[in-house]
Amino acid sequence: MKSLEIKDKATQEKLKQSGEIPKHIAIIMDGNGRWAKKLGYSRVFGHKEGVNSVRDIVEACGQLGVKFLTLYTFSTENWKRPRSEVTVLMKLLIKGLRDEADRLHKNNIKLIATGNLDKLPIRVHEELNDAMEKTKDNKKMTLNLALSYSGRWDIINAVKNLYRDCKDDKIKYDDIDEKLFSDYLVTKNIPDPDLMIRTGGEYRISNFLLWQLAYTEIYIENIFWPQFRRESLYKAIEVYQTRERRFGMVSEQLKK
């Protein structure tokens, strides 16, 4: 075990020295159910095992110096799943928040949540608020759970609030630009992701951070989320470090 920890630290140091560590990583944690069914288990087993991947990735990101980690935990579309599965997911969320709050606090990690949180069950709200309150002053990393979230909902919600403030003369029409609009999104206090990882091999962003992903580097991993651990994270960051982020410019402009 000690030799594995030493090897892991060496890998992390190599990553830090070889290039930029993404400030903000966003992850679509896909494939819990498919992984479980492939092994002959229920989808619930896959969701439970996925929690172990969350724990490992959060810890590894904190150790690497990632400042923000956003996990697509439950989308607005997920409410359409069978009621029994949604109930299990909510129970797992309650248990996870209860079990992990102390660990996050010990590791100086702040927990926040973004999404249409009013749709969450009361007990989830209570556990979520307790965990966020406990970790609110932590500085090492911010873990953002995207709960009852969708990119389209986020944009429509921003438009509604922007319209209301225009109508109430709190802002002027001519003041509206990309920066102002971003301030009306639920992620207003979080920088846009540098790297977005999706597990499960699907080549789509599934209504996740539609505005925020405009210039994010995308990495698709073919393995399912319960199989995704820190070694896979390191591989994704290695690929990210080979990318040239031009933001609409040409290479020559970046070298000036």
The 10 Å Cβ neighbour count of residue 254 is 11
- Label residue 236 exposed, middle or buried (CB < 10 Å: 0-12, 13-18, 19+): buried
Token pair listed for 241: 């470090």
pLDDT for the residue numbered 252 = 59
Check if the beta carbon of residue 71 is closer than 8 Å to that of residue 233.
no
Q: Which residue type does 58 have? A: V
CA-nearest of 108, 113, 112 to 139 is 108
Catalytic residues: 30, 78
DSSP 3-state of 197: strand
69: left (phi over 0), alpha (psi -120 to 50) or beta: beta
The 10 Å Cβ neighbour count of residue 12 is 18
Per-residue pLDDT of the chain (256 residues; tens, 9 = 90+): 677 788 899 999 999 999 999 999 999 999 999 999 999 999 989 999 999 999 999 999 999 999 999 999 999 999 999 998 899 899 999 999 999 999 999 999 999 999 999 999 999 999 999 999 999 999 999 999 999 999 999 999 999 999 999 999 999 999 999 999 999 999 999 999 999 999 999 999 999 999 999 999 999 999 999 999 999 999 999 999 999 877 666 565 566 5
pLDDT for the residue numbered 244 = 86
For 92-242, strand residue ranges (E) read: 109-114, 141-149, 195-198, 217-220
